[in-house]
Amino acid sequence: LPSLSTSITDSIQSTPKPTIIEQPDSTMNSIGSTDNDVTCSSALDIMAFLSDLRAKYAHQSTFLQSVEEMALSLQPLFEDPERGDFYKRAFLVMAEPERTVSFRVAWVDDKGIMRINRGWRVEFSSVLGPYKGGLRFHPTVDEGILKFLGFEQMFKNALTGLPLGGGKGGADFDPKGKSPREVQSF
């Protein structure tokens, strides 16, 4: 195992760090291209952005709370006279997932009854590398919970120094009390 550990460490240390290229302010006055996308003025108003997020994701309070708390903790960076706009642009890009996939899973329980559960995969910021995150199966899982967990996972992965983005997947399926056949059927 020491040689495996050494080779992993060497691989991590030799992995090139991503280069972030700053765009001139004149090209960064909006994000996205459809009417549903959040846009910001050239002043990069974080409060207006958060207000738009609240309207767009009103039913996802856990996700909204995590984004708002992160914005609050990053406020000193946003106010930096030299790099504040760069940090704001980075936050605006990271605050919403790059991709959310929703799906349903139809399965048959041991009594022969057809059951349907909902599932999601949420992926945040592939800037550093591929998405990494686990799965959660619980009856209370919904898209907002997985967005919250994926958003937090993105920062957790970045802090490890590994070139990974953040992601999370799961479903409102409860494996507790299910037979092995039912879990496999799901």
Residue positions annotated with a catalytic role: 168
What CA–CA distance (Å, rounded) separates 134 from 141? 13
Helix boundaries (H) for 15-117: 46-56, 61-73, 75-78, 84-94
Return the number of other C-beta atoms located less than 10 Å from residue 88's C-beta. Answer: 23
What CA–CA distance (Å, rounded) separates 181 from 186? 9
Note whether 144 and 57 are within 8 A (CB).
yes
Provide long-range contacts, Cβ within 8 A and 24+ apart, for 30-35: 31/92, 31/93
